[in-house]
Structure 1
Amino acid sequence: MEYVKGQVNSQVTTDNNRPQEATHEKVRKQRYEEETTKQKSKQKRLVRIRIIPIWLRLFIIAALIAISAIAGVVIGYGVIGSGEPEDALKKSTWQHIIDLVEKQK
């Protein structure tokens, strides 16, 4: 440590600092390599091939909704309503229901 015109110059030059500098360099290199591998893995993830395309997923969902609605009508009319389940799918049944609803207005 030197004192020069009101300033303290504290440069320590020992052999102990050199191994620390080497370890810092190793850490920096490891971090850089990790970042580059992360970037490469992100680039690989961007190219994704879907097994089921989105348009087919939407079609499947719409078909499942329609099937569940039909099953609900058949169960509701046939089991709960004590009617024949096949009658729930006939046009005349629905026309009768629509006439009952419009007549009440």
Structure 2
Amino acid sequence: MSEKELVQEAKTRETVKAEKKVKQKEEAKPQRWVRVRMLPIWLRILLVIVLLAASLAFGAMVGYGVIGDGNPADVFKKETWQHIIDIVVKK
């Protein structure tokens, strides 16, 4: 090997060692993952409750209006529910 090749090889060894030291320092530091939530937990819970109420209302409208051949808006009237309760209780 020529003197030039030995110098180049020594330089590459030094750079490899330096890279290994940098990697070891990075691995030694504990990485903390900071999670930024787009929606806070309280807003998620509120959103689930609202979606459940909306699906319940929509399901009642479909069930009463389409399946039961009634007017879907009648689901929200007190008289309709009183009639349903009377049928179930058999008064």
Tell me whether the two structures share a fold, i.e. TM-score over 0.5: yes
Higher strand proportion: 1
Look at both structures and tell me which one has the larger radius of gyration over its CA atoms. Answer: 1
Deviations 1:49-86 (A, max 9, x none): 32211001100110001001100000110011110111
TM-score by length of 1: 0.60
Where 1:52 maps in the other structure, the secondary structure is coil
Where 2:70 maps in the other structure, the secondary structure is coil
Q: Return the match for 1:75 from 55, 62, 71.
A: 62
Paired AA for residue 68 in structure 1: S
Corresponding residue of 1:9:
none
Cα distance, 1:35 vs structure 2: 1.0
For structure 2, the 5+ residue unaligned runs are 1-12
Aligned residues: 78
Where 1:50 maps in the other structure, the secondary structure is coil
CA RMSD of aligned residues (A): 2.6
Q: Return the match for 2:38 from 51, 61, 66.
A: 51
Distance in structure 2 (CA, Å) of the matches to 1:83 and 1:28: 76
For structure 1, the 5+ residue unaligned runs are 1-21
Distance in structure 1 (CA, Å) of the matches to 2:46 and 2:90: 37
Percent identical across equivalent pairs?
46
